[in-house]
Chain A
Amino acid sequence: MNRLKTALKPRIHKWRTNFYLLRKNKLTFLSLLFIILLVVVAIFAPLLAPHPEHIMEMTNPSEKLLPPSGEYWFGTDELGRDIFSRILYGTRISLLASLAAVGLAMLIGIPLGALAGYKGGWIDNVIMRICDIFLSFPSLLLAIVIAAFAGPSLKNALIAIAISWWPWYARIVRGQAISLKERQFVRASRAIGNTQGKIIFQHIVPNCMAPVIVQASLDFGSIILTLASLSFLGLGAQAPTPEWGLMINTSKTYFLNAWWYSVFPGIAIFLAVLAFNLIGDGLREIMDPRTRNR
């Protein structure tokens, strides 16, 4: 027990310093709080929304395009639905879909990266050149093409995003795998005759996860933004889903007479993306000691 404690001590200490650094950087800390708020909103959207019945198909023509008021904080849309409730639900959609996109990108990228790093040689070369090709392609463009051909839906949009994003994770994991494969425990595992698949998934992949998760949190803002852009182009979520980008797309017809319809969903996108970007910046600063004292 004591030995465990001493072994853990530097780790706890490291966590504490990191947390201290996080606290010191007020903007990063604020964004962390905001993200926690977003998650809470996403989970409890049905309880928090004042008009949960306004989420899906519903028409309420007598109350259409009402300006913000005590009853409808952010006004109503062209079908008379409460925009505030819809934005709250939108949090759930944006976060879940982005999470799914990142997860899928990891699912493709991590095994490929681990394989490339562990095997080396021509396999490594082929996989990495494919990564180069994907990365030399604007991700939004690739996502547009895939979503356009697969047919517009939220599911296809997030698959499209995952396909244009996986090389980032493959690259990181490859770098980790190269340094891991000569470590004692991996060599030991090889020596007792474990199969390659077992070595890769039991020893290499779990030890690559930390940098991958950091990278994912850096990417999250851009992914939310790309998803909203696809929905805005009509290639993502479809009506009546309360997705933020889609709401702005429908608001295009009405916004000159109903400013609230476009303004509030946009603020939601902006704040969510900003919070994740600020966290990303903060994390980078914490992990890069060169910029720490600036």
Chain B
Amino acid sequence: MKNFIIKRILLGVVVLLGVVAITFVVTRVIPSNPALQWVGSRATAEQIAAAEEELGLNKPIPVQLGIYLNDMLHGDLGYSLKSHRPVVDEIMENLPPTLELVLLGTIFAIVAGMALGVLTASHKNKWQDHLGRFFSVGSVSLPTFWVALLLQLLFYGVLKLLPIGGRLSMDAQLFGQVPDVTGFLLLDCLLTGNFSVFGDALSHLILPCITLALYPTGMVARMTRSALLEILNEDYIKAAQSYGIKRKIILWKYALKNSLGPTVTVVTLSVGYTLVNTFLVESVFNWPGLGSYISDAVMNMDYPAIMGVTLFSACAYVVLNMIADIVVALDPRVRI
């Protein structure tokens, strides 16, 4: 057990190093001129040469990779070519809004997905089951960015219920005294007791969260359904039934508890997917997070910023994968 966890963590480190190497190769092999980007298009040849010197671009590629790795270990991801500010700082500023979306979306997906899973499993082969299964496959096939637009069209364009995008409305930004403690807007509002801004922020969160939750909801529902179907055939469920315990209690308490293992795996894995999906969703909802940041960086060919966000998301993904594997291993029924 202990050995497995240590091995898994070591593998994670190797993978991370590989990820760094791949992003590095991609950004350096493909011809582009970061030095020119740094000094601007009107720079003289000497200025470009100076920038190359300053950015370390005149050294051999393996040396550059070494320098990059060393800097990275010291928490330095370089400077944005556009703003000339440290990429780490910019990532940290843009992270809370994205995490807010990812976390709320995931929580929503867990609740909705498990409910759907239980519903479909308990009505196996009835219309609820067919509808639920269709939803599971459908939600995985939907283009996220399109769903985002449809929701905007419906809830903003037709029903005029929810705001079209952004994190706060103009009024709240100007007059609401937006609190800034942790960067997580909802949490900050609760901490400072600012409920008018809280309501405003919440209304802006609903559509992006639903959009993001769609994919993991389908996955969780599918997983829960298949796990439950297997478990409902087991002896201890039959025993519980013969004791006359209510069907609802058997489903939600006895069976669901044992189906949690695979669900946890799916959830941790899909958080990584959701993180990348926010890139698409944020650009539609004009949400000021990592996704908008990387879109801007892509537009400006700001390669340290692109690499920074990529590395950050890849790290998150690798760590989540690791957690998923370890959680599975913690289950005493699994032998490794």
On A, residues with C-beta under 8 Å from B are 129-130, 132-134, 136-138, 140-142, 144-146, 148-150, 221, 225, 228-229, 232-235, 245, 248, 251-252, 255-256, 259, 262-263, 265-266, 269-270, 273-274, 277-278, 281, 294
Convert B130-149 into 0s and 1s, putting 1 for each residue whose CB lies closer than 8 angstroms to a CB of A.
00000001101111111001
Chain B's closest residue to A235 (CB) is B298
Interface residues of B in 1-60 (CB under 8 A from A): 11, 14-15, 18-19, 22-23, 26-27, 30, 32
User: A270 and B295 in contact (CB under 8 A), knowing A149-B32, A263-B150?
Assistant: no
Selected from A138, A235, A252, A281, the residue in CB contact (under 8 A) with B284 is A252
B276 touching A138 by the CB < 8 A rule?
yes
B273 contacts the other chain (Cβ, under 8 Å)?
yes
Residues of chain B lying within 8 A (CB to CB) of residue A234: 298-299
Residues of chain B lying within 8 A (CB to CB) of residue A130: 18
B22 touching A134 by the CB < 8 A rule?
yes
Interface size grouping (class) on chain B: 35 or more
Q: Which of B106-114, B168-176, B310-318 contacts A (4 or more CB under 8 A)?
A: B310-318
A136 touching B15 by the CB < 8 A rule?
yes
Whole-angstrom distance between the Cβ of A263 and the nearest chain B Cβ = 7
Bound Cα distance from A99 to B318, whole angstroms: 29
Whole-angstrom distance between the Cβ of A225 and the nearest chain B Cβ = 6
Chain A's closest residue to B143 (CB) is A269
Excluding A146-B26, A148-B301, 8 further A-B contacts by CB distance (< 8 Å) are A130-B18, A136-B317, A248-B143, A256-B156, A266-B149, A266-B150, A269-B146, A277-B141
Q: What are 9 A-B contacts with C-beta separation under 8 Å? A: A132-B15, A138-B276, A140-B276, A144-B294, A144-B298, A149-B30, A256-B157, A270-B142, A294-B229
Q: How many A-B residue pairs have CB under 8 A?
A: 130
Selected from B19, B137, B275, the residue in CB contact (under 8 A) with A277 is B137
Bound Cα distance from A234 to B297, whole angstroms: 13
Residues of chain A lying within 8 A (CB to CB) of residue B313: 138, 141
User: A137 and B22 in contact (CB under 8 A), knowing A225-B141, A232-B145?
Assistant: yes
B279 contacts the other chain (Cβ, under 8 Å)?
yes
Selected from B26, B280, B314, the residue in CB contact (under 8 A) with A232 is B280
Bound Cα distance from A137 to B143, whole angstroms: 20
B143 touching A266 by the CB < 8 A rule?
yes
Bound Cα distance from A144 to B149, whole angstroms: 21
Selected from A149, A221, A248, A294, the residue in CB contact (under 8 A) with B146 is A248
Chain B's closest residue to A272 (CB) is B141
Residues of chain A lying within 8 A (CB to CB) of residue B317: 136-138, 141
Bound Cα distance from A166 to B169, whole angstroms: 45
B137 touching A148 by the CB < 8 A rule?
no
Bound Cα distance from A269 to B326, whole angstroms: 37
